[in-house]
Structure 1
């Protein structure tokens, strides 16, 4: 900013500059990065990140519009309440919500003190501006925290009273890796957990009218279940505009679905079996959603390599991919291990048996024989799905 002579002048300029979209985005990103760094379990949750972004943006936009006014008053945007209610529906404890605001408060303090140090040379004027700015920011945050606690508490009480509470608890227990009784959990969910599952996440665009959101979520979920060919659908709310879903089938289903609802998007995992499959397919769906880049439909099978490169499904995701791609070739016995090593060296030698033979100090014909054996275990030629097979071989070699 150019030199200023009064606190009010600085506040007016701050408010004007904050109206700039690029500047607002920088402020929001700065605060959110600090918040996310303290919540590592949520940093790959696309729904949470979207609602955090909307909440922080609403706070900044609302505060900037009021900060320079003589009749300053706190008016909170609906997006801030959406985040509090989502945390309540997810079963997050109140300290998580309070931590978000505490970290955000510290981030704003660091940012503003840095800006004032650069903008205002006069120490007395800088102190006066900071006191006025921070007094209003503190009023804003105090009001926000008080109202967010009320919104969170009301949502949590309603959630706990409702029939969906037990369902959500069971789902969270399964996703959290807790040991559950399959029969009892299936009864609580009215959903067959011992079958195959395709998990998918549904999101509704921000520009969809609020009154249409639930209808869009429900109709999209039913449409996807119909596409899979099953009426065994389980759906739980995961945010104000998002839903986690599973479809159960008696046999493996195609993990590639369709999404025809306007203003809605879908990301799906692969078909997996049992309790572990219920959880694994869901993690894949979340990973696919996080790299969907606004596409109406994203299948994990189509973006698996990207998700693995980003580490979105962790070590277990990499191991699942390796077991699926290699099949019998993933067996732990010495003979199969030798076939894997031979195939890995052969592929890294551009499919040249002579080069692979030199590297392994065996005859090229031995290499060719082992490759044929490996293909029998794979069930297809080594050039089919070559990138996936080679990556799977490296994963098995590493573990």
Structure 2
């Protein structure tokens, strides 16, 4: 059904209804406020929030009625004035932004009841009543939808800007700490919302995926914090695909638990520093995580999670990439290409002070089976294990972290 333009008579009636609506009684305004406030739950700041909501709703009433007084029957522009935006900001600050739609819809229903009463007080003619009700009804629905859309867009812009400002400030303060620049510790703690006088575990999370949106890294950072018993880790955006994270008073590192926490973000990799106390520990643990990440990238390691205490020796050894490859090849010889099972058997045997029984127990295998594997390994080694156990252990540890592709030079490292 095609809507018709309102007649001059209907326009005049709309203008008169708008004039009356602009002068509501005190009792009706109280009723209006109570109805809209019923959408908000009890909160400590309710009294102040009630004033903000009341002013916003009354501003919408005035905006809508004034528009029809000036241009009866015409579409009403969205109200993106001071009061509606302030209400949206307050609700967002309190985590109640979802209530905006409820408040607007309840306000719309109550105001429409008032408009209907005014309409029936102005005319009893069916055609005039139809126009007086139909045109503003369609107008108010469009007005509310447009106002909500405009406010939502504005809040998203403000939220993005605030997030960028906070992220930039956090990065700046973190850089000052890492550079040992002079700074006020109390001010830094307040701005970071993170205590600096405790023990810290730092981590670097990054993704090798060339995605346009890396916000899942923030989810991974939060999951990493929870895995270490810290529900509010400090997260710093170091780049589009990189996050620096610090955790206070972390629980003992459990690689399996961290892998489980990151199960929903399979493209994220984590390099973890050693625990260290105070501001210097904040810095030291981050540098450990940095060295760990460099090692993983340098070696093209397939591992997703690595901690500095586990890889410190390998990280130092492999700073010279070509030299590390030569060391592995010269120390292991043909054993470099042996199966992972043989490598594991040899690593465990050396770690258990070359005690076959202890190593077999840890590997959950028969002693004779382990002896057979060790004899096979010995035949592949270029020198006797008796004279070379330490070097073999170091070479196997480095080999464990190195990726399969190791002939080409390592990729350039970027933070």
Same fold by TM-score greater than 0.5:
no
The structure with the largest alpha-carbon Rg is 2
User: TM class, shorter-chain normalised?
Assistant: 0.3 to 0.5
TM-score, length of structure 1 as denominator length: 0.36
